[in-house]
Every structure is written in C-alpha cells, then in structure tokens.
C-alpha cells in the first residue's frame, strides 16, 4: 500500500431516513494524527462509528488501503476491524474487572497466547501508558486521567495499526489532558500507529493534530480541511474561525499577523 492509510469517499450517513452527513471526503496518511472536529451535533462521533464498523453508511466508501470496510464480506470486515484499537469516551472500562482483566480481555478473545504471554503483554501495555503496578486496581480506584490511560492500554492490546479516539480528553483537567496528548505523541513516534481523534478540545487539536476536517452541523458536511494551525491562520469561514478561537477574534487577528 502507499502512504494513504484511510480514504473516505462520498460518504453519507443518516438515521431513519434523515440525512445527518453527506459528501464526506478525506484521506488519512499513515502515522498521521488526524482530527475530526466540529461543534456538538455535527456528527463527529457518528462518522467515527462508521469508520470503526459500528454504523453502516447510507452511501459512499471507507477504504483501508484497498479494502472497502462496508463493501467487504462479514469475515473480511471482522479481520480488518482487528487492526483497529478504540478508546471510547471516559475509557469505557468494565468496572467489575481489574485493569489487568480489562486489558487481557481482547487478547483472550482474539489470540492463542498462553496465560503467561497474556500476563506479560498486559504488563507491557500498562507500562507504556504509565500504569505499571496497577494491574490489580479497579476502575473506581483510578483518577479520570488514569482511567483514560487504562482505556488506551486496552485499545493497544492487539497492537493495532490504527487507533480511534472519541473525545479522549473530555472532562479531564488541563494537566491530565496534556499528559494524555503527550502520551499519544509518544506512542505515534515510537510505534508509528495512525490516530483518528474526535475532539473539540482546542489544546489537543493544536498540540497533536497533523491534519483535520471540520464538520459543519448546519450543512452536514466538511467545510474546512487541513492542518489546524493553518486553518486558524488562513480560514475565511466564520464558523471555523469561531470554533478555533472560541469566538475570540483578537486571537484570530493576532495569529494572522493583522
């Protein structure tokens, strides 16, 4: 394959006959941190669900390399989806399981590793996210930032090529949000995974994003695409400007050098 990891082409998504998203087109490069951003209700999480195989689109294609996720047969789709790791909002850990049990679950379900190999893999994944020694803790015993990192360890359990994050820093204080952003950058730089991140957090958008699309809630499509800092400096779209400055036009003017 070439350096294009994901290609979304003419995608349309709806609910009950109501079109939510239409004419969605973008590409994600290999080892890129790609941001899907937009106001609440713009369809960011819906788009993510289509990309990870949870929501069938009404039309269009989602290509991973040369394979069409929704055009493939069930077995092919399942094999492709095993290349994905997903970090859901708030970590989505099983509260009745320890961290070790949470991270080991996909390994038990989808590999033939021995118990010892699973134990070693779990310890490695937790160490990668700064949670070495927390194997026997339950989610309720963790801070919000730690729970999010534990969710990332579980998402990485099967060594995925592509990691999908849905609002990873939502609800975190600035320190923990920054720690998570730094962790994402370290993982990308060390193992070369591709990241697709749904977020509205400006600090994350500007600190980790290599490329991005802006979903407009009114039109139901992409109205801006490019590096977030370039969009901040050059976009003439008022909605995009307001989103990236949170309405602070003085900040926008300063970044443009006006």
Residues 71-96: tens digit of each pLDDT: 999 999 998 998 899 998 766 788 89
Question: In the predicted model, is pLDDT for residue 231 greater than 90?
Answer: yes
The confidence band for 59, taking pLDDT boundaries of 50, 70 and 90, is very high
Q: What is the pTM of this model?
A: 0.89
Which percentage of the chain shows pLDDT scores above 70? 93
The confidence band for 252, taking pLDDT boundaries of 50, 70 and 90, is very low
Tell which residue, 88, 102, 100, 93, has the closest CA to residue 124. 100
Query: Which tens digit of pLDDT belongs to each residue from 210-221?
Result: 999 999 999 999
Query: Which tens digit of pLDDT belongs to each residue from 126-149?
Result: 998 889 999 999 999 988 888 889
Query: Exposure string (b/e) for 54-79, b if CB count within 10 Å is 16 or more?
Result: ebebeebebbbeeebbbebeeeebee
- The CATH number assigned to the domain with range 29-56+78-256 reads 3.40.50.300
Separation between Cα atoms, residue 1 and residue 238, nearest integer Å: 38
- 21, 220 in Cβ contact below 8 A? yes
User: What's the mean per-residue pLDDT of the chain?
Assistant: 89
Domains of the chain, by residue range, sit at: 29-56+78-256
* Whole-number pLDDT of residue 244: 95
């Amino acid at each position: 394959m070439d350096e294009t990891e994901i290609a979304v082409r003419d995608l349309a998504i709806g609910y009950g006959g109501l079109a939510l998203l239409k004419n969605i087109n973008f590409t994600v490069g290999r080892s890129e941190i790609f941001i899907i951003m937009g106001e609440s209700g713009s369809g960011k999480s819906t788009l993510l669900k289509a990309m990870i195989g949870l929501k069938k689109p009404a039309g269009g294609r989602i290509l991973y390399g040369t394979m069409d996720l929704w055009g493939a047969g069930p077995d092919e789709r399942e094999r492709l989806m095993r290349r994905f790791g997903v970090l859901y909002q708030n970590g989505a850990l099983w509260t009745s399981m320890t961290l070790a049990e949470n991270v080991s679950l996909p390994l038990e379900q989808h590999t033939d590793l021995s118990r010892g190999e699973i134990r070693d893999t779990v310890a490695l994944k937790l160490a990668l996210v700064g949670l070495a020694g927390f194997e026997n803790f339950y989610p309720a015993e963790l801070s919000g930032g730690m729970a999010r990192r534990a969710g990332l360890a579980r998402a990485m359990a099967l060594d995925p090529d592509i990691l999908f994050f849905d609002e990873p820093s939502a609800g975190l204080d600035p320190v923990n949000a920054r720690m998570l952003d730094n962790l994402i950058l370290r993982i990308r730089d060390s193992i070369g995974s591709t990241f697709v991140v749904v977020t509205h957090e400006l600090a994350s958008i500007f600190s980790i994003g290599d490329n991005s699309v802006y979903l407009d809630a009114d039109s139901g499509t992409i109205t801006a695409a490019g590096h977030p800092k370039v969009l901040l400096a050059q976009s003439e779209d008022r909605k995009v400007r307001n989103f990236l400055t949170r309405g602070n036009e003085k900040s926008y003017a300063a970044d443009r050098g006006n």
